[in-house]
Structure formats: structure tokens, C-alpha cells
Amino acid sequence: MKASDCILVLASNRKHVQQAIKISLTSHAVIMALNLDTEYYLRSRVENYDNSIYDFLDNSSTLSQFQYIRDNFDTSYNWYKDPTNHQSEQQGDNAFKENDFYRYIRDRFGYFLVEFERSLNFAQNVIVKLKPKRIYIPQPHNYKGSSVMSGTLKPAALFILAKSQKIQISIFENDSINSPLRMRVGQLLRQVRSLNKQVTREECELLILANPRHLIAMNLLITILSNNFKTKILTYNVTTDTKRKLDSLYGDYLEKERFFGVDLMVKLRRVKNNTKNYKHWNKLTINKYINQPLAFKFIKDKLKRIIDEEADEIIKDYLLANKVMSQLKPKILITTTDPDSKILPYVDKANQLGISTINIQHGAFFSVDPPTNVPESQYFITWSRLTKLALTGNKYFKKVKMFEWQSPFHSIPHQSNYLVKRRDFRVLILTAIYIVDVNIRDYYYKALFESLSKVRSKIEIVVRTKSFQDPISLSALSADNRLNVRLDDNLDLHESIRWADIVIFENTTAGLDAMLLGKPAVYFNPYWGNDFFGLAKYKAAVTILNKNDLNKIVNFLNNRSIWPEYSRRGNKFAKEYFGLNVNDKSKEIVNILKKVIIN
């Protein structure tokens, strides 16, 4: 059959599969599954089904993925820096400058550009090789914020290329997808809490701005600082569970949402309307898309959509930053997630007012990280010599003023237990969110679980995902009858770690938490092919950096005699990585802050 007779079908759920099978009864159809749940369902319905999507992925991950990051974030940041954007929408000292607004959306736009170019290259590759006469796709999804990191723009890319090349294309009937119940409840809770307004005009020396999870983990440091300085705590997105913990630890703390009153709501409407009127999405230029007008229009439309639909929360923080800093007048602002858009407006306002700004490292940083991780604070506290060394390899961190301290989020546990007396054992898999093709991740997840099925002993597997990570593919893996797999529903990371005998982790410091608790560990990063933590040098964990390395997992799990040594070396490495291999340094941080205040 000629290639031009081919019909391409992209399916993202079981309803699409049923329609795809009907199409295949009368035509030569190539059916690609966009996730593992759909792929496994196709296997159950179509004899000898093989998901050909993997044949069109770019597996040369290290170089190509980094190239996507660098070029597209340069585009996003250069657009923000465009001198034509430097006009002020309002007059006066507290004016919301239009350029300021674009500063806070540049990162989410950069993530979108990365995924779009990658998806466009995939679509081009598919069309060139298959030459389909017709294409069926799911409804393209509009990812908000940086959630596109856990999604794909392949349907949108195929739609654009099909239109530009006059290939017939059909979109499956839109499947209404409701937001998760936990997310809807959280939104409702925040709305209710925002009705109970807070007012404070009491000034402070230190203002600590962080999310509830970080505040809870930093309790020891915050207690030390509160005993030495007049300290205020500002947080946001408080849930029922975190409220209970925050109340028990601190009692008195401020919430951003409860500061936003009618006065700021009036300003919000005016600023948003003015921002829309400037239409700066029309000033975007990207040379690589000069000869692809439909693709470029799609990008500009997305930029406009970000401004139209995601501006409210960003502008709220900009307006709140002015109010909070003016009322509390702190000498120092301490944050943990600068330059996140929920934090950056406060850092910018503090810098503008001459308030010293300090950002404390909250997670792993690597040499290939995009500029979205680089803080705008005057100082950056990194955990140790090892973490500082990793940062020096990132070109975006070259100008950051760093000094070493230790992680305030970790402490040496009272007991590190690695002895496993059971015949069977438990494996905890810790996933991470980062910029990599979701289908490449699925490819390696399948390979990982195939390897785990070869282990001699009976194993119980728990997969712990990150917040807002789409678990659909991992849920499908949990249905594999050969293995006892389930998704983790425990809110406490350390409880999950204590349950496990072995931990397999991606690019997340949660894996080092496990090593700190004495768990033998496997570092799983075939996506990039790099040992970003430098674990192999210290023999601190088994490292899986490509598909051929997967045999090492089987050998490791089958050989319990080597687990104690990996436990010991891993524990030593984790202590050094978090800066816990030295004596108590609490006095050091207090003295540093005192000098900053005096100056």
C-alpha cells in the first residue's frame, strides 16, 4: 500500500481508541497513543499492537533537549527585553510598568516555546515519513503556567502542519476534562479564606516569604531567626492540612490572599485593561518561524492568551508587593523560590526600595537548567560545596552572588535503617518534573518496569509523583499484572521513604532525602544521560543513564549483600550535599543577617 494512502490517528484516551479502531477497519491506519493508558488499552484491543510514536521521537536527549531550552528561553527573554516594551502604562512612582508585567510571564512563555518546537519537529518527522492523506487528533490542550512541562503539543503541531500542507485533518469530539477535585477544593478554600482580610502595619526586620510546605520544613531555621530578629512570615495557597501545621508551628503568620482588598481590586482591573490595549504579542519576532506563518500565529495567539487569561494573579502579586513592603518595611526579605512569578514581584520591589534580598536554595540545580531557576535576589544561599560546584557550570548563574551555608530543609535523622529481613522487599519510585518529552519518559518508564519484572524476589512498588504531574501513564503502569504497583497517596514524603527498602529517584533531592535516611538508591536519568548529582564519582548510588544501564537495576536488586555499602556511601554523600557534614552553623547565618541589617 502506498504511503499516501495512510491515515494517521493520535489517540489520548479510550474513547479515541474506539474511534481509531473503526477507522482502521476500512483504511490503512497508523494509530499512535499519546500516553501509556491509551497504549495499553490499544494492546488489549488490537492484536500485536506496537505504539509507533516511539519511532519518531528524538532520543539523542542530552544535546537536543538542551538546545531546545537555550534557544527558546533566549527568545522569550529577548522579547521581554525588547526596548519597545519599556513604556509605562500609568504615571507616578507606584505605576505598574508594562515591561514589569511581561517580566513575570517570560518564563511560562519560554516553557511553551520549548515544547512547541519539540512537538513541531516531531510532527514534521511524522508527516515526511508517513505522508498521511488524513490525520485525526485530540482537541489541542491549552496548558496554563508552566504545566506544559508535563504535557505535549503534538496534536497542535500536527494540526498546524496539516493545514499548511493541505492535509485533511479532523479533531475528535472534545472530551470535557474537569480539574482534579483536590485542585477545585483548594481553589474554593483560598477564596473563602481571602474573605477574612488581614491588616498589619507593624514593621519587622526580617520578612520570610515562602509557600507553606517550605515554611513547615524550615521550622528550625525560622525559630532561630525569630529568636534573634523581629520576624514576619508571609505565605500563600494555604490548605486545610498546611493551615493546621502552620498554626501549630507559628500561630501568627500572614497570607497574601487576605491582604488583597477592594482598593487593589480597582487597580487590578485598570492595569489589566491597559495591558491588553498595548497588544505587545504583535511585537514578537522569531526568525526560525519566518517561513511558517501558521506556526508563528499559533505562538502569538498563545502569548495573547497568557496575557488575557493568566494576568490576574501576576498583577495581584505586583500590586500586593508594593503594599506589603511599604507597610512592613523589612530590612531583609528571605525567599525560597525566587524567581517564581509568585515571589519575583516582592523581590523586585524590595530591591527597588533598598531592602536586602536573600534567596535560599530549595531544591537541586543543574548545569542545564533554564534561566527560570536563577534568582534575582542580591544573595543566594547554597547548601554546600557540592551544590555550589553544580551551579558554577550553569551559564545563567555566572553573575549570582553565592555563599555556602547548609540546607534548612533537612536534618540528620536519629536512625538510619537499611537492614531488610523480609524475603520480599519494597521499592519506592520518586519522579520529578522537568523539560523532557513526555513520550520519551513513557518509553523509559516502560523499560524500567520491564526490568523490575525480572527481579527474582517478589517486590511491592509505590510510585510517588510530583504535585500537578499528570499521573495517567504511571497509573497505567500500576495496572501491570506482573508487578504489585500503586501510586503513593501519602502526604508525608519521609513516611513513604521509611516504608521503602530501596528507592529509585529521578532528578529530585527527595532521592537524597532517602539516602539521608539510609536507603540504598538508584538514580534514574536516561532522559538526559547525565549524572547531574555526581553520584557515580562517590559510588553513592547505582546510576542509570541509558537503556543499557537497566541491567544494573536487576543485578542490584538481586544482590542484597551490597545494599549496606550503598546505604553507607549514599548517606555520607547526602550529608555532604545538604551541608550536614559539619557542625551546627545556625550562629553563622544569624551573624550574616546581623551584618546585613547593620549595613
* Structure confidence at residue 411 (pLDDT): 86
Place of cell 474511534: 19
Largest CA distance in the chain: 80
Mapped onto helix, strand or coil, the DSSP state of residue 535 is helix
CA geometry: angle at 509 spanning 471 and 223, to 5°? 115
C-alpha–C-alpha distance, residues 329 and 229, integer Å: 14
- Judge if the upstream peptide bond of residue 330 is cis by omega within 30 degrees of 0: no
* Amino acid in position 264: L
Mean pLDDT per block of 10 residues along the chain (599 residues) reads 76 94 93 94 93 85 64 87 48 48 84 93 95 95 82 94 95 64 49 55 91 94 94 92 92 87 80 72 88 95 89 85 91 94 92 94 84 88 90 82 89 67 86 86 92 91 81 76 80 90 95 95 92 94 94 94 95 95 79 78
Residues forming a β-bridge with 73? none
* Structure confidence at residue 181 (pLDDT): 46
- Say whether 425-577 and 183-259+313-404 share the same fold: yes
- Judge if the upstream peptide bond of residue 339 is cis by omega within 30 degrees of 0: yes
C-alpha–C-alpha distance, residues 133 and 141, integer Å: 24
Query: Measured between alpha carbons, how far is residue 526 from residues 301, 336, 391, 447, 540 in Å?
Result: 34, 29, 21, 10, 18
pTM reported for the whole predicted model: 0.88
C-alpha–C-alpha distance, residues 127 and 118, integer Å: 15
* Structure confidence at residue 487 (pLDDT): 86
Please answer whether residues 544 and 524 qualify as being in contact, where contact means their C-beta atoms are separated by less than 8 angstroms. yes
Mapped onto helix, strand or coil, the DSSP state of residue 573 is helix
Buried b (16+ CB within 10 A) or exposed e, 193-206: bbeeebeeeeebbb
Q: Where are the domains of the chain?
A: 183-259+313-404, 425-577
Q: What CATH number should be reported for the domain whose range is 425-577?
A: 3.40.50.2000
C-alpha–C-alpha distance, residues 386 and 365, integer Å: 11
Fold topology of 183-259+313-404: Rossmann fold (3.40.50)
* Structure confidence at residue 468 (pLDDT): 65
C-alpha–C-alpha distance, residues 433 and 462, integer Å: 18
Residues near 535 by beta carbon (within 8 Å), at least 6 away in sequence: 523, 541, 543, 573
Please answer whether residues 62 and 528 qualify as being in contact, where contact means their C-beta atoms are separated by less than 8 angstroms. yes
